Amino acid sequence: MEEGFSYPAGGVAVVRREALFGRRRARPTRAGRAPSIGSFADLKVGDLVVHQTQGIGRFEGLVSKEVLGTTRDYMQVSYRGEDTLFVPYEQMELLHKYIGGEGTRLDKLGGTSWAAVTDRVRGRVKALAGELLRVQAARASAEGFAFPEDSEWERELEESFPYQETPDQDAAIAAVKADMQSTRPMDRLVCGDVGFGKTEVAVRAAFKAALAGKQIMMLAPTTILVQQHFRTFKERLGRFAVRVESLSRFSTAAERRRTLKDFATGEVDVLIGTHALLGAEVRPKDLGLVIVDEEQRFGVKHKERLKEFKASVDLLTLTATPIPRTMQMGLATLRDISVIETPPSGRRSILTHVGPYEEDLVARAIEKEIRRGGQVFFVHNRIDTIDEVAEMLQAFVPGARFVTAHGRMPERALENVMRRFLDREADALVTTTIVESGLDVATANTLIVDRADAMGLAQLYQLRGRIGRSTEQAYAYLFAPLGATPESQKRLEALMDFTELGSGFAIAMRDLEIRGAGNLLGSEQSGQIAAVGFEMYLRLLEEAVALAKGQPAREEQPPPVIVELALDAYLPVEYVRDEIERVDLYRRASGVHTLAELDDLAEELQERFGELPEPALNLLGLSRIKLLAREVGATAVNYRSGTLSITGVTASVAAPALIRKATGGAVVGREGRVTVNGSSLRPVELAEKTLRAVQQAVGQPVA
């Protein structure tokens, strides 16, 4: 169900899990590891997947198979030539969703092409790793400015913030301050949904820099956004004698000359503007911090100019939907990243409608918003016909007040229109995508987008972020013709999938999937990413960087423990009905690294689905045995005809008396093997108790 409901007569209320707990967050990964793509993208039947040793195949779903008298679930993956691979849950870590563009060819199961491709990409990645290390070394060796710790004034600024900081916002602010107080120049990306408090992170960073006598430049992609930030910074910092100025199309020539002169002499502390700030005429006296809002809106030349700052000046980037390139850098742990996912208190998800254009629906949506005292954004991204559209809308809703705005309007006229809308002298703003970033209008809670299929995913997400910035329920109508291209259809479906608050990061991952992974440090890398998939590429890159640093490629993986117990071990369909949910749970069960993680998973299963049936208990039991065996150095655990054998432990250390007491069975020990027979325990219990006794005997704490 898409939303909950109440049925008072029956005394029933139904609440979706997401309404109570939000989208389940990605679980924390081990230190130094990039998060798995599986955390962000659900796997569906028909999706391409990458098997680390077999290559690219197509996921066909979960199948139950009986092998040697025991039932297990397997992931079925098809390959070229109608070959099929069945992957047991214990090996699911070897699989991940393919992200890297469309038109990819399936590999031949057991063929040599995949090994050849990975070898080729590994060679190309080595060269890239050298380049990355040179960039990092230049940054690490640069003498940055270490800002002092928080002062009383900074605490006063924090207390004047009119809202309660969210936990993620607090964490991002703390990370930025720690970066600024380090001698290494900061290069941090703060990713958070529109209206989730990124600007306040920037305000506090700017204030810290200003108190240390340094100047700040803030770049925004549009004039409207410059004006928005100028008002916010002036309001927050004005009372602390911090001088904030802006440069935009709205500035007169005299104002521009005066502002540039005062910035050059150090009288202006914070200068906010568009990419014009990167020009040669802007000469700060003592620059300490550069803040970039919505980096994806700047061109290649502007980004190259920004790179020059990275060596010596602290750089803070804010974005609601990080572009794939930026996100790749973040995920590959080549760039510091903070994600703000927790929404402000009282914020609601935006209800989103996608379908062909309907005049009646448009009229009803506008009338409904005006009736409740709100305002409307109508986005039509063609300047030559925008006035005709405004006249047509006026005919649909004669009582409404419409104004029009687009980027080719004279500066003063555009400023006047925007001011009229902000002052509520108009009910609806008919506009181009010029409003996609910057406008913060709490009363505007209906968005209508004409020809949404012609826009990018990040752009649509930004547009939708113009509404729903208060506690009012917001509505987005994205109209597209039925014959939209497959790619545009996927973009619109992604917006339908991610209507929850805090979906910006997930949107960026889906954008990565639709458009292909793009480039990391040059267009020549895109082909390498497409060849092996995004996650495999990151894995190879991580290995190459470690190798170039003279470190082991990855933390040494212990040899796999072979567990052979003749048990039915799976999640029954009647217990977890949703196939995608089962895939995710299998992935988690196979990927646990500690007994505590496994206990948490067992508790979650019981809370969500009820008492665990025996096959599910066996499934978790096998994972527990594998972890315990790894702890005591065992290489194999098998159970046949009432006898348990554990290979890889010595009889003298195993303390047969402890094992006999724990299991009630006869113990036979010889070099490298412990055998237990005659016990009445179930195989899983017998194996677990034996391994715990071995663990206790070698003096390790019993988990």
Residue 680's pLDDT is: 75
* Percent of the chain scoring above 70 in pLDDT: 78
Query: What is the CB-side half-sphere exposure of residue 453 using CA atoms within 13 A?
Result: 17
Rounded CA Rg of the chain? 29
Q: What is the pLDDT of residues 48-65, one digit of tens each?
A: 888 888 889 998 988 888
Query: Which whole number is the average pLDDT over 111-131?
Result: 81
Instruction: Assign 487 a pLDDT band (cuts: 50, 70, 90).
Output: low
Instruction: Assign 191 a pLDDT band (cuts: 50, 70, 90).
Output: confident
Instruction: Assign 404 a pLDDT band (cuts: 50, 70, 90).
Output: very high
CATH number of the domain located at residue range(s) 562-697 in this protein: 3.90.1150.50
**Cα 301 from Cα 309, distance rounded (Å):** 13
Which sign does the torsion angle of CA 677, 683, 689, 692 carry? positive
Type of residue at 428:
A
**Cα 366 from Cα 347, distance rounded (Å):** 22
**Cα 261 from Cα 268, distance rounded (Å):** 9
Parallel/antiparallel/unpaired status of strands 336-340 and 215-219 = unpaired
Residue 21's pLDDT is: 59
Q: Which CATH architecture has domain 152-340?
A: 3-Layer(aba) Sandwich (3.40)
CA 469 to chain centre: 21
Other Cβ atoms within 10 Å of 638 Cβ, number: 16
Residue 557 is encoded by which pair of tokens? Answer: 């993986």
Q: Does residue 270 contact residue 218 with C-beta atoms inside 8 Å?
A: yes
Residue 588 is encoded by which pair of tokens? Answer: 């988690």
Above 80 in pLDDT, residue 664? no
Residue 625's pLDDT is: 87
Domain ranges of the chain: 152-340, 351-500, 562-697
- 116-120, 598-602, 631-635: least confidently modelled range: 631-635
**Cα 561 from Cα 629, distance rounded (Å):** 7
Highest mean pLDDT among 115-119, 154-158, 303-307, 559-563: 154-158
Query: Which whole number is the average pLDDT over 655-673?
Result: 72
Computed over every residue of the chain, the mean pLDDT equals 79
Residue 344's pLDDT is: 73
Above 70 in pLDDT, residue 225? yes
Instruction: Assign 642 a pLDDT band (cuts: 50, 70, 90).
Output: confident
Highest mean pLDDT among 384-388, 579-583, 645-649: 384-388
Query: Which whole number is the average pLDDT over 575-600?
Result: 85
Question: Listing from the earlier edge strand, what are the strands of the sheet with 314-319?
Answer: 244-247, 270-273, 215-219, 287-293, 314-319, 187-192, 336-340
Residue 601 is encoded by which pair of tokens? Answer: 């998973």
Q: What is the pLDDT of residues 409-450, one digit of tens each?
A: 887 788 788 888 888 899 999 999 887 765 678 788 999 998
Residue 517's pLDDT is: 44
Query: Which whole number is the average pLDDT over 503-515?
Result: 52
Residue 30's pLDDT is: 35
Residue where the block lists tokens 């480039």: 519
Residue 321 is encoded by which pair of tokens? Answer: 């939907």
Residue 29 is encoded by which pair of tokens? Answer: 């990964």
- 124-133, 554-563, 589-598, 664-673: least confidently modelled range: 554-563
Highest mean pLDDT among 235-239, 264-268, 276-280, 493-497: 264-268
Residue 407's pLDDT is: 82
Query: Which whole number is the average pLDDT over 534-545?
Result: 75
| Helix, strand, coil percent content, the chain, rounded in steps of 5 | 45, 20, 35
CA 688 to chain centre: 38
Using a 10 angstrom Cβ sphere, with 0-12 exposed, 13-18 middle and 19 or more buried, the burial of residue 197 is buried
Residue 438's pLDDT is: 58
**Cα 291 from Cα 377, distance rounded (Å):** 28
Matching fold, domains 152-340 and 351-500 = yes
CATH number of the domain located at residue range(s) 351-500 in this protein: 3.40.50.300
Residue 497's pLDDT is: 60
Q: Does residue 257 contact residue 329 with C-beta atoms inside 8 Å?
A: no
- 30-34, 350-354, 431-435, 437-441: least confidently modelled range: 30-34
Above 90 in pLDDT, residue 11? yes
CA angle (631 as vertex; 628, 637 as ends), nearest 5: 50
**Cα 75 from Cα 63, distance rounded (Å):** 6
Instruction: Assign 381 a pLDDT band (cuts: 50, 70, 90).
Output: confident
Above 60 in pLDDT, residue 523? no
Residue 34's pLDDT is: 35
Strand partners, 61: 76
**Best CA proximity match to 38, nearest among 398, 538, 481:** 538
Above 60 in pLDDT, residue 520? no
